[in-house]
Chain A
Amino acid sequence: MTAALPDEHFFRRESGRLVSTLTRMLGVHHLALAEDAVQETLAAAVEVWAFRGLPENPSAWLMTAARNRAVSLLRRERTARRFAPEIGRQTDGVDAGPESEVAHLPPVLRDDELRMMFSCCHPEIPEDAQVALVLSLLGGFSAHEVAEAFLVSRAAMEKRISRAKKVLSGTRGLFELGARDFEARLTAVQRALYLLFNEGYHGASPEAAVRLDLCREAIRLVALLVDHPPAATPATHALAALMALDAARLPARVDDAGDLTELARQDRSRWDTRLIARGLEWLEDSARGEVVSEYHLEAAIAATHALAPTAEETPWSDIVELYDALLRLRPSPVIALNRAVALAEQLGPERGLAALRSIPGAERLAAYPFYPAALGELELRCGRVAEARKHLRAAHRLARNPAERTFLERRLVECDRRLAPAVPGPSPSPASPPRPR
């Protein structure tokens, strides 16, 4: 009776498009109304499509229905306003006849989404709220789903998002892609997408599926930037490349039981070769400029891993060098941690341990499970099992989700096995390096 929807993310994606387009048509001060119209349209689509099957062009159906819904909501609002003249006077000046606008403007969907993306990254909106807003408005995630992904309470996330929306709807309009501060805003957009991807890749949410959705959404949005020439700077290409190259490892990173598998032990045949090819293309495109951004360096690290046929054949000295360059650009204890792990691969666990212990600002890693985990792994490699166990236990206490916990439990079992007399085993590799933030 009914053809299937293109994919399981269709409604979320459409929601982002519809909200962006309606907001452009009606003006940002009508953001809430646009969201209501989209919400109601999707709810109506569920009922109508369930009974009648999918229309020939579901996207076009939704767009028409959402416009009509928005117009009728506007009418209702205006009627209400007639009975509240004071409010009317306050808002009339900024209201530029949206109904005629709705009727005549062709839907330039892609630009609308881009403009919304840039609008979400307004300098007055804090970075974490920008990411939440992008997910809410463009990704079609509910506040509840965003809260789940970021391990924040629903109430706190609702507040964060509604504050950000207030800033956005107080601006003069959706961001103009030709505006003078385009470049500065582009930097903020890249950063927000980077954070979004990282939250998916390394975040704390116990739901692997939720996190995968974040990665996918970040890649979808960065691809929009790549397709829009002024936004497709070398840094944008590098960002896209690093996302694709890292995401390519996702199928091997979590095994069938949902457990984490560190880089060295991943089954490389499960890496997504199509994504790797795409990432390498993007990386090539990123090399056209003069500037080497942190995204370039991270993408280069990801590419080095992607191109190594086996873990043993990884050119670790290259990776250490790339981390050194990254540290010069963006000093951060997490990057230093990654560098130390790579150094251990290159020059041995003792050197790695020394590097770990001399990380400047290591106290900032106090709540980060991968720091004690790395100490534990390297101690284990040096044969100091008791020390290793102490660190791995500390890491286990800091684990943020069941996958991390299970992973560390397995390493603790390995310690016990080593302590049991007369059962020598192969030396394990260290934990897969977490990505720097």
Chain B
Amino acid sequence: MSEFLYLYRLPADSPDLPGSPRNMQQRLQKWTEWFRELEARGTLKVLGHPLQTGGAVVADGGRTVLDGPYAESKDIVLGYSVVQAKDLAEARAIAGGCPVLTYGGMVEVRPIMQM
């Protein structure tokens, strides 16, 4: 078994916003079901956190501080989780069910290095 970090990303200029309250509630429903399913399958290692927008990027030996959560990428990380899977193929397959994919987002799947 290996562990994978899932980064939930959404393009910063996502045309998706603003959604109607009904859509938002449906979205919440989907996320809740997704996490519940991961938990039920025993694959959810760390639930993770949603991240606020905003923040800063510190770079260049501390001489450069950029506002905003993104350095160069055009998308925001909405949150993260850690998932257990047999291998990358399985981790990818699991990520395929993530609700963020239904509204223009993506899941970055990164194997966690085991020491």
Residues of A in contact with B (beta carbons under 8 Å apart): 1-2, 5, 8-12, 14-15, 39, 42-43, 45-52, 140-142, 144-145
Q: Does A145 lie within 8 Å of B27, measured CB to CB?
A: no
Q: B36 — nearest CB in chain A belongs to which residue?
A: A1
Q: Does B28 lie within 8 Å of A45, measured CB to CB?
A: yes
Residue B21 interfacial (CB < 8 Å): yes
The answer to whether residues A11 and B35 also contact, given A43-B18, A50-B50 and a CB cut-off of 8 A, is: no
What residues on A are CB-neighbors of B18 within 8 Å? 39, 43, 142
What residues on A are CB-neighbors of B27 within 8 Å? 46
Q: Does B17 lie within 8 Å of A11, measured CB to CB?
A: no
Distance (Å) between the CB of A211 and the closest chain B CB?
A: 14
What residues on A are CB-neighbors of B36 within 8 Å? 1-2
Q: Does B35 lie within 8 Å of A10, measured CB to CB?
A: no
Residue B70 interfacial (CB < 8 Å): no
The answer to whether residues A48 and B21 also contact, given A1-B39, A2-B32, A2-B36 and a CB cut-off of 8 A, is: no
What residues on B are CB-neighbors of A2 within 8 Å? 32, 35-36
Q: Does A12 lie within 8 Å of B49, measured CB to CB?
A: no
Q: B99 — nearest CB in chain A belongs to which residue?
A: A50
The answer to whether residues A51 and B25 also contact, given A2-B32, A43-B18 and a CB cut-off of 8 A, is: no
What residues on B are CB-neighbors of A12 within 8 Å? 20-22, 25
Interface size on B, residues (CB 8 A): 23
Q: Does B24 lie within 8 Å of A11, measured CB to CB?
A: yes
How many A-B Cβ pairs are below 8 Å? 72
Known: A12-B21, A46-B27. 19 other contacts (CB 8 A): A1-B35, A2-B35, A5-B29, A8-B25, A9-B22, A10-B25, A12-B22, A47-B31, A47-B79, A49-B32, A50-B31, A50-B35, A50-B50, A51-B48, A51-B50, A140-B22, A142-B20, A142-B22, A144-B20
Q: What are 25 inter-chain pairs, A to B, with CB distance below 8 A? A: A1-B36, A1-B39, A2-B32, A2-B35, A9-B22, A11-B21, A12-B20, A12-B21, A12-B25, A14-B21, A42-B24, A46-B25, A46-B27, A47-B31, A47-B79, A50-B28, A50-B32, A51-B48, A51-B79, A140-B22, A141-B20, A141-B22, A142-B19, A142-B21, A145-B22
Instruction: Tell me, in angstroms, the Cα distance from A8 to B30 when the chains sit together.
Output: 13
What residues on B are CB-neighbors of A14 within 8 Å? 21
Residues of B in contact with A (beta carbons under 8 Å apart): 17-25, 27-29, 31-32, 35-36, 39, 47-50, 78-79
Q: A140 — nearest CB in chain B belongs to which residue?
A: B21
Instruction: Tell me, in angstroms, the Cα distance from A1 to B32 when the chains sit together.
Output: 8
Instruction: Tell me, in angstroms, the Cα distance from A368 to B23 when the chains sit together.
Output: 33
What residues on B are CB-neighbors of A46 within 8 Å? 24-25, 27-28, 31
Q: B25 — nearest CB in chain A belongs to which residue?
A: A11
What residues on B are CB-neighbors of A47 within 8 Å? 31, 50, 78-79
Distance (Å) between the CB of A265 and the closest chain B CB?
A: 33
What residues on B are CB-neighbors of A145 within 8 Å? 20, 22
Q: Does A43 lie within 8 Å of B17, measured CB to CB?
A: yes
Distance (Å) between the CB of B48 and the closest chain A CB?
A: 7
Q: Does B24 lie within 8 Å of A43, measured CB to CB?
A: yes
Instruction: Tell me, in angstroms, the Cα distance from A227 to B79 when the chains sit together.
Output: 43
What residues on B are CB-neighbors of A50 within 8 Å? 28, 31-32, 35, 50
Q: Does B21 lie within 8 Å of A42, measured CB to CB?
A: yes
Contact of B47 among A11, A49, A51 (CB under 8 A): A51
Instruction: Tell me, in angstroms, the Cα distance from A8 to B29 when the chains sit together.
Output: 9
Q: Does A11 lie within 8 Å of B50, measured CB to CB?
A: no
